[in-house]
Amino acid sequence: MINIFKLSKDSIMKKVENAGFPAYRGKQLIDWIYNKSVFDVESMTNLDKEFKEYLINNIKFVTLETLKIIEDDKSETIKFLLLLGDRNTIEMVIMRYKDKDSSKNRNTLCLSSQVGCKVKCPFCATGTDGLVRNLKAEEIVQQVTIANSFLKKYDTKINNVVFMGMGEPFFNKDEVLKAASLIKENYEISSRKITISTSGVIEGIKELADKELKYVLAVSLHAPTDRIRDFLVPINKKYPLNELIKACRYYQTKTKKRITFEYIMINGMNIWPDDARQLANLLKGIDCHINGIPVNSVSDSEFERPKKKDIYSFKKMCEKYGLSFSIREEKGTDIEGACGQLKNKERK
């Protein structure tokens, strides 16, 4: 049995033809899955009995199950708890940005690449228990199918994908890059709309550069000095700032693409005037944008969200030094939208 979400459209066509069915059957199958978001063979009404039997006996369609969906009042943030075949659970979040002109609506899917994470950033709920296992490419791709299937009721689809859910994508690099390429091809989502967020795994950044893959690179920087970053992003001890920034410069020389730096904002920790100055120094000459993320407090944690005025004064200082800086829209905080939070709550 092969999982359908491992296959590109071309390989689906080949497989169907090799099994002795006409090409239009392959096209119908692709239409059910990728246009109609239907995965139950019995509901694929225009297929004949023989082809359905072949599919049921040879192809696996769904291995992820939806355990729970939490939708906020305005249905702007929809959070999913998903069950994997081996009973582990992961989360994903749909963020909907509605525009007056509905053709400009954006639906972003924040998906997971691992169960747990070994990086163990102290503010992050995902890292609490370390790494459980990597996701397979097909388990990553299937998250998009589940999201699209949910969005059918709003007559819309996912058009942006961010690897910002559970896990460090570059510690599962091969499956993540396989999944990203399948998402790009099968869902026709361009590389410019696929973001990979890394805590700073240098091999991953170099591979994007060397292969000239045009995904958007986001780096979770969070601090301008090794002293603070060693604490906030513990793999900084393995990949210190000077090497990380060197890799980012290499990436930019190769791809000419702008880099996003994520910067979690924590009260009393990393938003002092001196941090803004050092940050500007560190990033000098890199074409980049900084995404300030006011920290979401994970239950009884020591990490406190700064006051609004402190958040804005840090932004102003960074801008004064010439950095492009935006504050991430707060979505999902009321439904435990930060990665790993829902899962931990369910377990309790």
Binding site for ligand SAH (CB under 6 A): 117, 123-124, 164, 168, 197-199, 220, 262, 264, 293, 295-296, 298, 338-339
117, 124, 288, 339: the active-site residue: 339
Nearest distance from residue 331's CB to ligand SAH, in Å? 11
Q: Which is closer to ligand SAH, CB of 26 or CB of 127?
A: 127
The answer to whether 124 contacts ligand SF4 (rule: CB under 6 A) is yes
Torsion sign (Cα): 39, 42, 48, 51: positive
91, 138, 175, 262: the active-site residue: 91
Please answer whether residues 230 and 220 qualify as being in contact, where contact means their C-beta atoms are separated by less than 8 angstroms: no
For residue 246 the two structure tokens come to: 């060197």
Which part of the chain contacts ligand SF4 (CB under 6 A), choosing from 47-55, 119-127, 246-254, 283-291?
119-127
Kindly give, in sequence order, each residue whose CB lies less than 8 Å from that of residue 167, ignoring residues fewer than 6 positions away.
Answer: 112, 113, 114, 115, 116, 117, 126, 131, 134, 135
Nearest distance from residue 95's CB to ligand SF4, in Å? 17
Query: How far is it, in rounded angstroms, from Cα 298 to Cα 305?
Result: 11
- Lay out the site mask for ligand SF4 across 150-189 (x = CB under 6 A, - = otherwise): -----------------xx---------------------
How many other C-beta atoms can be found within 10 angstroms of the C-beta atom of residue 75?
12
List 117, 196, 216, 269, residue binding ligand SF4 (CB under 6 A): 117
For residue 336 the two structure tokens come to: 């435990």
264 binds, among ligand SAH, ligand SF4, none (CB under 5 to 8 A by kind): ligand SAH
Query: How far is it, in rounded angstroms, from Cα 277 to Cα 27?
Result: 56
For residue 30 the two structure tokens come to: 């692709």
290 binds, among ligand SAH, ligand SF4, none (CB under 5 to 8 A by kind): none
CA distances from 278 to 249, 272, 305, 325, 334 (A): 17, 10, 21, 15, 33
Nearest distance from residue 303's CB to ligand SF4, in Å? 12
Q: Is 288 a catalytic residue?
A: no
List 199, 236, 252, 291, residue binding ligand SF4 (CB under 6 A): 199
Query: How far is it, in rounded angstroms, from Cα 336 to Cα 79?
Result: 9
Q: Is 336 a catalytic residue?
A: no
Report DSSP letters for 28-92, one per residue. HHHIIIIIT----GGG-TTS-HHHHHHHHHHEE----EEEEEEE-TTSSEEEEEEE-TTS-EEEE
293 binds, among ligand SAH, ligand SF4, none (CB under 5 to 8 A by kind): ligand SAH
Interface ranges with ligand SF4 (CB under 6 A): 117, 119-121, 124, 126-127, 167-168, 199
Catalytic positions are: 91, 339
